[in-house]
């Protein structure tokens, strides 16, 4: 990684934290709804909560992606870089690449919380391991086949 890439990752890291916060916030809401339903023995309502949460989470993710793509330059400016900095364009590319992972982060957060709620800790671990393997595979494809670097 060159100096520009390292700077881009450093300046773009708040976006990763925001993505994680969005997914976690949505999944906590699901967890609360599900626990109420499950405490009453109502698995059907808990299942509906999961479906609704997934739909809402994906819609929010898509809106955030569209806004980020529309205002990436402004976001990078507010992070402290301007278009004269050599790291400006790498930072824009990094942020756009990271934000595309928001739907996956959101779905994973919802499913991991959902499997823990029902006491299926093994399945939650498997879900995280599968997500990590897919992430590594995606990184390999980006680096080896597309020559775009890691996101």
Q: Are 38 and 46 in contact (CB under 8 A)?
A: yes
pLDDT digits (tens, 9 = 90+) for 96-116: 887 888 888 788 777 777 666
Q: How far apart are CA 68 and CA 71, in angstroms?
A: 5
3-state SS class at 82:
coil
Q: How far apart are CA 116 and CA 124, in angstroms?
A: 7
Q: How far apart are CA 67 and CA 148, in angstroms?
A: 23
8-state DSSP, 85: S
In whole numbers, what is the pLDDT of the chain averaged over residues?
Answer: 80
Q: Are 68 and 103 in contact (CB under 8 A)?
A: no
Does the pLDDT of residue 72 top 80, yes or no? yes
* Residue-level pLDDT at 74: 92
Q: How far apart are CA 124 and CA 141, in angstroms?
A: 26
Q: How far apart are CA 112 and CA 23, in angstroms?
A: 11
Tell me the two tokens of residue 72.
């990436």
pLDDT digits (tens, 9 = 90+) for 13-45: 888 788 778 878 887 877 788 888 878 888 888
For 138, phi and psi rounded to 5 degrees? -60, -40
Does the pLDDT of residue 129 top 60, yes or no? yes
């Amino acid at each position: 990684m060159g100096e520009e890439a390292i700077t881009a990752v450093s300046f773009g890291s708040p976006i990763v934290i925001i993505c994680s916060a969005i997914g976690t916030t949505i999944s906590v809401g699901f967890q609360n709804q599900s626990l109420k339903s499950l405490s009453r023995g109502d698995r059907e309502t808990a299942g509906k909560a999961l479906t609704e949460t997934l739909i809402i989470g994906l819609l929010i993710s898509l809106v955030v992606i569209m806004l980020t793509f529309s205002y990436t330059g402004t976001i990078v400016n507010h992070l402290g870089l301007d278009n004269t900095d050599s790291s400006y364009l790498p930072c824009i590319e990094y942020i756009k690449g990271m934000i595309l992972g928001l739907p996956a982060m959101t779905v994973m957060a919802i499913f991991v919380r959902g499997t823990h709620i029902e006491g299926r800790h093994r399945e939650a671990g498997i879900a995280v391991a599968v997500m990590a393997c897919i992430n590594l595979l995606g990184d390999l494809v980006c680096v080896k086949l597309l020559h775009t670097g890691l996101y």
